[in-house]
Homo-oligomer: A and B are copies of this chain.
Amino acid sequence: MSSLQHVNPRVRGIRASPHSALQSLAAHITQEITQMAQKSFREVIDVSSGDSHQAGMKPISFVRQVLAACLHPQLLRDRSLPLDVRLRAQSLLDVCEGGSAGSYTDSSGMPHVRQSIAEFITRRDTEIPSYTKDVFISAGSQRALMVLLKLLASGEGETWTGVLTPLPCPHTLPMLLDDAGVTLAPYRLIEERGWAVDLDELQRALTAARRHCEPRAIYISNPGNPTGHVQDKKSIEEVIQFAAAERLFLLVDEVYQDSVYGQDTQFISYKKVLFEMGKEFSETVELVSFHSLSSACVGECGLRAGFMEAVNMDPGVMHYVDTMLCTDISTPVMGQLALDLMVNPPKLGDPSYDTYKQEILLTQTTLSQNAQRAWRVLNGLPGMSCQPAMGGVYLYPSLDLPPEIIEQAKMSEVEADVLYCERLLQEEGVLVGAGCQHGAATVRHHLRLCVLVPPDTLEEVLARLGSFHLRLTDRFPRSDTVVLKVGSGEPQGSWRKVPEGPQQKGE
């Protein structure tokens, strides 16, 4: 492997994420600041990922206390910890091999935790049963998805496996599809309708895909990453009917199921809808749903755990899910134990209940208020337009960039939205995600912002972003009056160039 030509061609084919370059730039700027470089800001704020702890949100005390006691069992006798914390830690240690959180577990996860998850799903879907054998724990939902994609991958040329993939999609998905050797077959979400899934578009996308690959699955993100859209029952039924008619495997990312805040909006699982559609569907449609410890309320991204539930999967196929998970040996035990706490939190009357409830409520309120606040501010900026989010942790505003920026981007051989993010980072120390990393290839440009951050941080981000954006607008003002169309995704006006004054050259 002495040179690049010897690297596996499939690995070489994994598309590079434009976000890596932005992250490197952010790290570089942070280093400059520690070396006392003069900047107009004191630190880089990263709202590009859904990592709420990194942004300053607090962990759930109950989760952390129980895990600490599992790691250091002398705490089981520490009366400064609530009784339910100590009891829970003891009961979790009892189901660890050798009574230690340092032992391996079954590759598919600890039976006790898988059972807790199955019970949680059964409660969530109001008594539609979930079975332990159908639940697989992995080191994050992405790892579970990777296993499924690998099972689905086969063929070559026109028989190559394709996965119908939303545009925009979660930013790591294109890379995972490449790694698994699966074709991304795009379908567009409808921005003007708040990024809804559209049946005609699915049909069109499928027909188009069949010309060059064999679409065998459809990927759905609900609540939507990065869109914030939450599907209603009717929309989910449509997708299930489509999947059933076209014999597509349903891969449903439901990791933000605990963070739906849109008015009159609630999370309904694909599985629940499937089972309410009658046996014709509930006994045939193959569905896998993913959930994660990195979800909004618990947000333990660093512990690395997630799970999937498989519905109507052939037992022979499930055997291979197990085989693939074996190559990881086992999911981190701390993550597995935290999953148990996430799906089975303190109950009314437990000593930890009040604190737990307050912490969850604070997260949910912060998320909902931040989303509204950011939406209003972003829509108030010229050339920016943001659909209201109903769930998840992101806003995904569209950006009408001046032709000069697009021209400059072309010359520098970067995407125009990446150039925008680069400038924002350099001038204001704010790191947001560029739309092009969401499998884009649209004419419109977008940004991704995580709004699950402390309200003060959000204000600072919005102030810096607004200030940068208005400077850009001043430099390249638009030719017509700004018309704010809040909630609509229509481009607002177009840009005309203003000659740069000498004072701007040195910026």
Contact = CB atoms under 8 A, between A and B. Distances in A.
Interface of A: 1-4, 6-12, 14, 16-17, 20, 49, 51, 53-56, 59, 64-65, 67-69, 71-72, 75, 96-98, 100-105, 139-140, 142-143, 146, 150-154, 172, 175-176, 179, 216, 247, 249, 286, 299-304, 313-314, 316-317, 320, 323-324, 326-335
Residue among A17, A100, A247 with most chain B CB within 10 A: A100
A103 to B, nearest CB: 4
B1 A313 contact: yes
B51 A103 contact: yes
Given A16-B323, A301-B330, 13 more contacts: A1-B317, A7-B317, A17-B326, A51-B97, A53-B103, A68-B72, A71-B334, A105-B302, A139-B139, A140-B329, A179-B327, A304-B329, A332-B335
Contacts of A3: 314, 316-317
Contacts of A286: 1-2
Given A72-B68, A75-B68, A102-B59, A154 B316 contact: no
B153 A97 contact: no
B2 A314 contact: yes
Contact of A302 (B4, B320, B333): B333
A296 B18 CA distance: 41
Contact of A97 (B17, B54, B139, B146): B54
Contacts of A16: 323
A100 B154 contact: no
A220 to B, nearest CB: 17
Residue among A146, A334, A335 with most chain B CB within 10 A: A334
Given A75-B68, A98-B53, A146 B303 contact: no
A304 B332 contact: yes
7 contacts: A14-B323, A49-B104, A53-B97, A53-B103, A54-B104, A304-B330, A304-B331
Counting every copy of the chain, the complex holds 2
Nearest to A304: B332
A177 to B, nearest CB: 11
B303 A333 contact: yes
A227 to B, nearest CB: 21
A8 to B, nearest CB: 5
Given A139-B328, A317-B1, A329-B172, A154 B6 contact: yes
Nearest to A56: B98
Contact of A151 (B8, B96, B104, B176): B8
A99 to B, nearest CB: 8
A300 B102 contact: yes
A250 B286 CA distance: 43
A331 B326 CA distance: 17
A1 B216 contact: yes
A326 B316 CA distance: 30
A100 to B, nearest CB: 4
Contact of A1 (B17, B179, B314): B314
Contacts of A56: 98
Q: State the 8 A-B residue pairs at the shortest beta-carbon distance, nearest first.
A: A302-B333, A68-B72, A54-B103, A53-B102, A53-B100, A54-B98, A54-B97, A332-B332
A12 B320 contact: yes
Given A11-B151, A154-B8, A286-B1, A102 B304 contact: no
Residue among A69, A139, A179, A216 with most chain B CB within 10 A: A139
B302 A101 contact: yes
Given A16-B323, A17-B326, A327-B179, A153 B301 contact: no
Contact of A102 (B20, B139, B301): B301
Given A11-B320, A68-B75, A97-B51, A314 B4 contact: yes
A329 B302 CA distance: 10
B4 A316 contact: yes
A146 B151 CA distance: 17
A22 to B, nearest CB: 14
Contacts of A8: 150-154
Contacts of A146: 327
Contacts of A98: 51, 53-56
Contacts of A140: 328-329
A7 B153 CA distance: 8
Contacts of A10: 153
A59 B51 CA distance: 31
A425 to B, nearest CB: 17
A172 to B, nearest CB: 7
